[in-house]
Amino acid sequence: MTYYQQHQADFLEGLKTFLRIPSISTLSEHKPDIRRAAEFAVNELRAAGMSVAELIEGKGNPLVYAEWLGAPGKPTILFYGHYDVQPPDPLDEWKSPPFEPEVRGDNIYARGACDDKGQVYIQIKAVEGLLKTTGKLPVNVKFLLEGEEETGGEHIEAYVKTKPPRLQADAAVVCDTEMFAPEMPTICVGLRGMVYYELLVQGADHDLHSGVYGGAAPNPMQAVAEIICALKDRDGHILVPGFYDRVVPPSAKEREAWARLPFDEREYTEKEMGARELVGEPGVPLLERVWGRPTVEVHGIRGGFTGEGAKTVIPARAVAKISTRLVAAQRVDESIAQMQAAVKAACPRGVTAELRVLSCGEPSLTNPDNPFIRAAAEALKETFGQETVYIRSGGSIPIVGVFDRNLGIPSVMMGFGLPDDNLHAPNEKFHLPNFYRGIEAIARYLEILGR
């Protein structure tokens, strides 16, 4: 019986302690909990045997840094994760309280169980096992954990951009993604980028009565609708000139692999999404639509009257929240210029429209032939007893692009979540068999890299 098998009960208790800290980064009243969670991680890393484990203080929430550099000549791996969590609302939909972790069946339920405390804890416990049983690690290992992932990760990005020597590494390992299906070890090799915008449309300088002025007054709500419809057609095809120019289609090999993935479109549509029907570009397979194609989505429109009953107002102003997802090899800056030109061209008479950028992150795509990814696939296959599959994600993990551009290293996205883990939703859970196997898989990964 290995160290990892012997200590499963300890790992679970430790994870519960971590999960009890309500380190919600979007709510300022939880600042003390943020610090408690960061200190918890430092203490765990120190107890695991890392030679350095400390907080990096700066603007924003502290970063957690740790290192063990006792393997000269061997590669250096930089583990990334985050100790902050999403708010738990709506609270009344949780079956057990979000910060009182509860095991039901094979799962542990708590906010952060999967995203991302459970996966951060996997990384720490993998290293602990190797250090406790062999006194050393097969490769050099660094940790960089942040406490602002759920609020945009602004400060870790600023820190990495200073290219601190202590972050030098050969590859990053990001455990913040999911497996394609239970029992199916998965590596994510592509992420969509994102630009989040506010579209500000101004008509008259004050709200107008729609009876008195309707027929003559510009209506910013109508204008927002017209601009939105000018960005994407009813088939989901983006109309912004040039937007698809740099899009690299998936290779024939990748398309074939995606087609072989076990996927029940009806279950995905009706159970997972709760929708009647899928939409999007006709003729493009579903996984390619969400992994390999850019999108434009409207998230909400502020302005005018939205309360109960009737108010006949032509609002002076409307603000739409809009985001685009980008895929390799689109470029954030170029896409912003394209969007701004398209909004300008679509802006109707009588109003002004301004498209402001709130945040952005580049898309990323890694070649699976990279040796750090090949080693991960091997470790996962050994641990799970199944062939590793390569997928992409429709979401965005901006740190991957930040590591790439500033540290010049690829990110190995080895995640142990499942599609039904309720990330950002009530009843977030983590599948405990994946938690235990994840620890073993990461340890095995370091061993393979050290050969």
Return d(Cα 41, Cα 265) in angstroms, integer.
Answer: 40
Comparison of 14 and 363: residue with beta carbon closer to a copy of itself:
363
3-state secondary structure of 376: helix
Comparison of 7 and 429: residue with beta carbon closer to a copy of itself:
429
Least distance CB 283 / a copy of itself (angstroms): 13
Ranges assigned E (strand) in 210-351: 295-302, 313-314, 317-326
Return d(Cα 49, Cα 124) in angstroms, integer.
Answer: 10
Least distance CB 306 / a copy of itself (angstroms): 4
Comparison of 126 and 238: residue with beta carbon closer to a copy of itself:
238
Return d(Cα 124, Cα 50) in angstroms, integer.
Answer: 9
Ranges assigned E (strand) in 50-175: 52-56, 63-68, 76-82, 102-104, 107-109, 140-146, 171-174
Comparison of 237 and 381: residue with beta carbon closer to a copy of itself:
237
Which of 344, 371, 358, 337 has its CA nearest to residue 445?
A: 371
Least distance CB 450 / a copy of itself (angstroms): 35
CA-to-CA separations, 290 to 230, 322, 366, 395, in angstroms, rounded: 21, 17, 17, 9
Return d(Cα 67, Cα 50) in angstroms, integer.
Answer: 6
Least distance CB 211 / a copy of itself (angstroms): 3
Comparison of 391 and 407: residue with beta carbon closer to a copy of itself:
391
Comparison of 70 and 285: residue with beta carbon closer to a copy of itself:
285
Least distance CB 165 / a copy of itself (angstroms): 32
Least distance CB 309 / a copy of itself (angstroms): 7
Comparison of 101 and 250: residue with beta carbon closer to a copy of itself:
250
Least distance CB 305 / a copy of itself (angstroms): 5
112: Cα within 13 Å, side-chain hemisphere: 31
Q: Mention every residue, 6+ apart, whose C-beta is less than 8 A from residue 292.
A: 190, 247, 249, 250, 327, 392
